[in-house]
Amino acid sequence: MKKEICVIFGGRSPEHDISRKSVTSIIRNMDKSKYNLHIVGITKDGRWLLYTGSCNKIESGEWEKEEESLKKAIISPDTSDGGLLVFEESGVRHIKLDCIFPVLHGEYGEDGTIQGLFELSGVKYVGVGVAGSANSMDKTLTKVVMKNAGIPQADWVTVTCSDDFYDKLYEIETKLGYPCFVKPATTGSSVGVGKAVDRNSLENAINLAMKYSRKVLVEENIDGHEVECSVLGNENPAAGEVGEIVPAVEFYDFDAKYNDNSTKLHIPAELPEAVREQVRSLAVSAFRAIDGSGLARVDFFVRKSDNKVILNEINTMPGFTNISMYPKLWEACGLKYSDLLDRLVELAEERKK
């Protein structure tokens, strides 16, 4: 029998558009002989809609205009329902689900909030649990967890909206110096990230980041190779190949990730095998530190001066677009995209058991 899978995309995050790209690729690659897919889109203003139209209209956002293909639907937190409630003119239709695949990036999708709903529902779901998602989404919390786990990382200063702004500027200049990187604490895909080279650009970068998060992370600059490693598994996670990103621009910002075809990806990374193995080992350690399950992409710098491996961040629902590193790194290990999706569903089932 086919498994009933609810694939959820969109959401209220600034990364809503990236979710539409990721889910389009996932829908096209999931084996329809194994799964009945129930596609639920969450609009930017938070409406949940079961979508039965063509997946070709999701990436552009046109799906929201297909009124005949839309019905209000929610995941029920009542375990006796065990799945999706669809609101129709004749009443509420119940779809019992075998698994939920949340293709959601950023706030309200990758931060533990929706994972809490899934836990309440009792339905199996793909990916990291509540605590691991929350601690990975908030970069300031990630810093604390990784420090306790003994994983090397860039030095940092946290700025909140209640701090004395100019005291923090002084602390940043004294502790980190210039250049430094400024990030909203709770966004991904480089949304709101800026590089500061002096006091003026630092102020501007913090003010920009504050538009996305009430907490801001400021990190020291690391002159290094930017590398990423895919992790897959539950109790015994495995690390895939290590890839290197060589952006054509000064740093790997949002446009470089999703819009700039001149960004180069080296798979495997052009680093000594011993260094790549250290990256893989630390990626698994970071995954275990957050009590990871299912999948994560762990990003590092490899410092050019001495090849020291330094954690950048961990992404618990990495991009799944046709140019995204997570599936590409597993393809380099011989695991096809469609087989990777099968494995993620299997891991969700194993975790629930």
Full pLDDT tens readout for the chain, 353 residues: 899 999 999 999 989 999 999 999 999 999 999 999 999 999 999 999 999 999 999 999 999 999 999 999 999 999 987 799 999 999 999 999 999 999 999 999 999 999 999 999 999 999 999 999 999 999 999 999 999 999 999 999 999 999 999 999 999 999 999 999 999 998 765 778 999 999 999 999 999 999 988 999 999 999 999 999 999 999 999 999 999 998 776 655 555 555 556 678 999 999 999 999 999 999 999 999 999 999 999 999 999 999 999 999 999 999 998 789 999 999 999 999 999 999 999 999 999 88
Specify the domain boundaries for CATH 3.30.1490.20 within the chain.
Answer: 156-220
Give burial (CB, 10 Å; 0-12/13-18/19+) of 249.
exposed
The CATH 3.30.470.20 domain(s) of the chain lie at 136-152+222-352
Tell me if residue 203 falls in helix, strand or coil.
Answer: helix
Q: What is the pLDDT of residue 31?
A: 97
Domain 136-152+222-352 CATH class label: alpha beta
Note the CATH architecture for domain 3-125.
Answer: 3-Layer(aba) Sandwich (3.40)
The answer to whether residues 84 and 74 touch, using CB atoms and an 8 Å cutoff, is yes
Contact by Cβ (8 Å): 245, 263? yes
Residues of the chain with CATH 3.40.50.20: 3-125
Backbone φ and ψ for 59, nearest 5 degrees, come out as: -60, -40
Q: Going by C-beta distance under 8 Å and a sequence separation of 6 or more, which residues neighbour residue 323? A: 258, 265
CATH number of 156-220, picked from 3.40.605.10, 3.30.70.1520, 3.10.129.10, 3.30.1490.20:
3.30.1490.20
Q: What is the pLDDT of residue 294?
A: 98
Predicted local distance difference test score (pLDDT) of residue 42: 98
At residue 260, the pLDDT reads 55
Distance CA 350, CA 353 (A): 5
Q: Which ranges of 122-213 would DSSP assign to H, the alpha helix?
A: 130-137, 139-148, 165-175, 199-210
What is the pLDDT, as a whole number, of residue 259? 54
Q: How far is CA 67 from CA 49, 51, 276, in A?
A: 10, 9, 49
pLDDT at res. 256: 52
CA 194 to chain centre: 19
Cα dist. 316→63, 117, 204, 313 in Å?
Answer: 26, 17, 29, 10
